[in-house]
Structure 1
Amino acid sequence: MRPTVHDIAAAAGVSLATVDRVLNQRPGVRHVTREKVEAAIRDLGYVRDVAAANLAKSRVYPLTFILPASDNSFMHGLNAEIRAAMARSAAERTDIRIVEVPAFDPQALVRELETVATEKPSGVALVATDAPDVRAAVDRLVKDGIPVVTLVSDLTGSLRHHYAGVDNIAAGRTAARLLGRFLGGAQGEIAILAGSMLVRDHRERLEGFTAVMAQEFPALHLLSVLEGRDDPEVAHMLIADALGKNDGIIGIYSLGAGNRGLVRALKEKAVDRTLTVIAHELTVHTRAALLDGTIDAILNQDAGHEVRSAIRVLKAKADGLAVIDAQERIRLDIFLKDNLP
């Protein structure tokens, strides 16, 4: 059996109150007594259950989530999942705050991270824009003892503690294989719609996609990436323009958000031809497009799992506890119209 505080008190010949003072580094214990308690802790191999101690003390964890202000369905869904976590705050002993910054704006994100640093929360989760200044701001938070988790898009090379999101290179490779197989050896051009190359998840998806296309499907020519800034109106304009000018497009890969605009453009401009379309994130709009055949497959990440994972990791890191990697692995789901949940 694991040693308890009662065992420590018995071994050191002191009261439970004295053991509690030593464990919590509070004053009021003579030096010689403190040494006796610490020796008993070492001899017994006692390991303190920090999470249980914090539960007993009803510790509350103030957490800050920083999201891009964006009119796309996935970010709306992510925001809703954080709000659902806020509704569970009493049970989970969290005090969650959401802050929005302009999308794809590194300096705005840096300013918010600097503000958060002065507030000293128990942890910060952010959708990262991959820029040197953002990386430096995250590193300063970590060095100040504030745990940081990146959500959806990672910030590799930083000191962040954990990434709650899918393997985006694998996601891009999966999208390429699906698109190539669905097209069945056809020759033609592929349009690619991204949000911005400033975010790592979009760059990694593109990297995986282009690698598999070059290796496995050389008959398919990839057009220059269209950056829609995950804005449905911009996405609509870009796709409508591309389809209007290029009859050779036979497939589309939407690797970001803004899919409401993509679907609208497809319904307007692709009525006279067959297109194979792979997109990301299952939302109300992409679900409907799957069901009516406008989109052929959706690659999805579970935003609720990402939010819950971020909260678990931030609380664990605040307590100095290890993270269970298998529990925090975010799965990439593939949905066709036939297996929608």
Structure 2
Amino acid sequence: MKPGRDTPLNPTVNDIARVAQVSLATVDRVLNERPGVRKTTVEKVNRAIADLGYVRDTAAANLARRRIYRFLFILPATNNEFVDLIEQQVNDLSQGLKRDRTQVSCLRVPAFDPMALADAINALNPAQVDGVAIFGPETPSVRDSISRLRAHDVSVVSLVSDIPSSERNAYVGIDNIAAGRTAAQLMGRFLGPVTGDVLVMTGSMLARDHLERRLGFDEVMARDFPNLTVLASLEGRDDPDLIERLLPQALASGRDILGIYSSAAGNAGLVRYIDHHRGPTHPIIIAHELTPLSRMALGGGLFDAVISQDSGHLVRSAVRIMRAHSDNAPINMAQERIRIDVYIKENLPPDPGSTTGG
């Protein structure tokens, strides 16, 4: 059938059934990819859809079926303001999504514990969840648990830290290797031609986002700033008290530590230590994620730069991608690309929690 005088301007499922010479029930099965339809019949229906130029109104179809989308964010239970911001964004978004028949919720699991994460994923009932956004480590046990969800057609998004060896549908977060390279350029340019050491603080080298940031940082430091020696990573596991205990030994090791790169977002211990031991000078500090604490440290001169990603964009993007996969709809990846933001004291955006201003 070619478009012409008899082609409806706004074709419906009734038009598809008429052109394909099948029942409305068969058209519905094909549109929703349900079993029980012969291959030749599926081809006839799809050909009629293409000839008619039919575009499915997914929202109307879901409303007619009274479908509710159920999306879950699995986040690490850690003393980390950035993770708290993500959970806050999820909670805020869930209120506005109720009118779109979408339920969004959070589940916290122990941080840097792949078995606890895998157990939490395996405990999910695939019949009661349409999509899961996972912020956690990449291990065989986590990959296997993701495979189980995908086998039941649950969409899976890796969040902040990618799990590329799994069957996840998409990754939502910044390019962490590029973020590490950015930190190195900032560190090297801030320090200039002096000779000395740079300390790297991380949450855990088992976390892919932290590992990738370190790889990017090392690459640029070795290539562009050979006058600076990058020391072994100090793993703080997002524990402020542990970080505060580790720093004195690291900074009093007899080495000339000129800079600190904090590749994780758990900066409370670092801020406390530097603030309590502040002298006429302190190391150049490059940190991650614009949180209330890092904003204060940047504005107060403790931090020199903060590399960040928009927590709201992360959450909205993850929800859009999970919903698109649930609907077999296209994804605008340009819209979902999370950019790397760099903040210094002079370009700090207004504090969203501030009550001042017009």
Same fold (TM over 0.5): yes
Comparing 145-154 with 37-46, greater Cα deviation is found at 37-46
Q: Please name the residue that 2:353 is paired with.
A: none
Using the TM superposition, give the Cα deviation of residue 6 of structure 1 relative to its aligned residue in structure 2, in angstroms: 5.2
Partner of 1:287: 295
> Secondary structure at the residue paired with 1:24?
helix
Q: Deviations over 1:292-332 (max 9, x none)?
A: 11100000011111011111111110111121100110011
Change (3 A) 1:171 1:42: closer
Looking at structure 1, the residues matched to 49 and 298 of structure 2 have their Cα atoms a distance apart, in angstroms, of 60
Query: How big is the shift at 1:40?
Result: 4.4
Deviates more, 1:103-112 or 1:225-234: 225-234
Name the counterpart of 2:250: 242
Question: How many Å separate the matches in 2 of 1:174 and 1:283?
Answer: 19
Say whether 1:86 aligns with 2:94.
yes
Deviation of 1:247 after TM superposition, in Å, equals 5.3
Could you tell me how far 1:269 is from its partner in structure 2?
2.6
**Aligned pairs (5 A) from 1:271-286:** 271-286=279-294
- Structure 1 counterpart of 2:108, from 100, 123, 146: 100
Q: Which amino acid aligns with 1:258?
A: G
Q: Look up the match of 1:325.
A: 333
Task: Report the alpha carbon displacement of residue 333 of structure 1 after superposing the two structures with TM.
Answer: 0.3
Alignment of 1:206-285 (within 5 A): 206-246=214-254, 248-285=256-293
Who is 1:192 aligned against? Answer: 200
CA distances 1:198-227 after superposition (whole Å, capped 9, x unpaired): 111000000000000000001111111000
Displacement of 1:232 in angstroms is: 1.8
Contact 1:237 1:265 in 2 (8 A): no
2:27 paired with 1:23? yes
- Tell me, in whole angstroms, the C-alpha distance in 1 between the residues paired with 2:199 and 2:20: 72
Instruction: Describe how 1:291-306 pairs up with structure 2 within 5 A.
Output: 291-306=299-314
Contact 2:240/2:266 (8 A) holds in 1: yes
C-alpha distance in structure 1 between counterparts of 2:239 and 2:95, whole Å: 29
Larger CA deviation: 113-122 vs 103-112: 113-122
Answer whether contact 1:72 1:232 (CA < 8 A) is retained.
Answer: no
Residue 190 (structure 1) shift: 0.5
Q: Is contact 1:231–1:257 with CA below 8 Å preserved after alignment?
A: no
Distance of 2:341 and 2:104 partners within structure 1: 28
Moved more, 314-323 or 270-279: 270-279
2:321 corresponding residue in structure 1: 313
* Per-residue deviation, 1:240: 3.3
- 271 and 51 in structure 1: CA distance in 2 versus 1, 3 angstrom threshold: same
- What is the DSSP-based 3-state SS (H/G/I as helix, E as strand, rest coil) of the residue aligned with 1:157? coil
Question: What amino acid is aligned across from residue 96 of structure 2 in structure 1?
Answer: R
Select between 83-92 and 166-175 the one with higher mean Cα deviation: 83-92
- Cα offsets for 1:50-93 (capped at 9, x unmatched): 34422454421111111110111111111111111222231232
SS of match in other structure, 2:346: coil
Quote the Cα distance in structure 2 between the aligned partners of 1:42 and 1:178: 53
SS at match of 1:116: coil
Note if 1:48 corresponds to 2:56: yes
Mapped contact 1:205–1:255 kept (Cα < 8 A) = yes
Which piece of structure 1 moves more, 41-50 or 264-273? 41-50
| Cα root mean square deviation, aligned | 2.4
SS in 1 for 2:71: strand
Percentage of identical aligned residues = 46
Contact 1:297 1:334 in 2 (8 A): yes
Secondary structure, in 3 states, of the residue corresponding to 2:324?
A: helix
Alignment correspondent of 2:172: 164
- 1:159-209 Cα offsets, whole Å, 9 max, x none, are 100111000000000000000000011111101100001111000000000
TM-score (structure 1 length as normaliser)? 0.90
